Amino acid sequence: MPDGGPCRVILLGMMGSGKTTLGTALAQRTGWPYHDNDALLARATGRTARELAMESTQALRDAEAASLRLALREAEPTIVAAAAGVVLDGALRAELRRAGIVVWLHAPPAVLADRAERGPHRPWLAGNAAAWIAEASVEREPLYRQVAELDVDTQAEEPEAAVSRLVAALARLGCARWLGTGLAAAEGS
């Protein structure tokens, strides 16, 4: 989102891409509130992602859309970790582009699978997580690229280095007024 747009960072990427890790670190650096998809989903529906996924994929997708829309109503500045699947919906992709600065977090599918398998709330990965993530990545990566203004390879870049780079980018993109001491910390690193 260019100058004058909302100072809202939307972290987008596959399960295991580091949205929670980077979102938490960016929130600590900037002092901005962080809204994790799982918490937003529970707030919007009263259910967990696991419960919704066990019901149906469509129930989960509908809830992810509702939680994203809830997050996009949060006052700026803010950091939002969006569900990986929201990118599959064309209307949501358009909303993402208008809503703030979309940052695509990515890593090789094998790395994502290793990280995601450790999460207890991902029943759709049961069996062959690597194959599911590899297949989903092929479908989703072009869509992530389409909406992202910035990207972070979370295998190649440590969280603190990525946060410093993102804070500098936020300043360039017109969010300096919201950065306060976080910008000074980024420039000092």
List of residues 6+ apart from 28 with CB closer than 8 A: none
C-alpha distances in Å from residue 42, one per residue of 3, 37, 38, 45, 99: 33, 8, 6, 5, 22
**3-state SS assignment for residue 103:** strand
Residue 4: left (phi > 0), alpha (psi -120 to 50), or beta? left
Q: Which domains does the chain have, with CATH numbers?
A: 8-188 (3.40.50.300)
Q: CA-to-CA distance for 82 and 10, rounded, in angstroms? A: 7
With tokens 């939002």, the residue in question is: 80
Per-residue pLDDT of the chain (189 residues; tens, 9 = 90+): 445 678 999 999 998 899 999 999 999 999 999 999 888 888 888 998 888 888 888 999 999 999 999 899 988 999 999 999 999 999 999 999 999 999 999 999 999 988 887 765 566 666 778 888 999 999 999 999 999 999 999 999 999 999 999 999 999 998 888 887 444 444 444
Contact 154/136 with Cβ under 8 angstroms?
no
Q: CA-to-CA distance for 14 and 33, rounded, in angstroms? A: 22
Q: What is the model's pLDDT at position 57? A: 86
**3-state SS assignment for residue 141:** helix
**Which among 178, 163, 166 is positioned nearest to 24, based on CA atoms?**
163
Contact 160/144 with Cβ under 8 angstroms?
no
Q: CA-to-CA distance for 26 and 163, rounded, in angstroms? A: 6
Tokens of 148: 């992202």
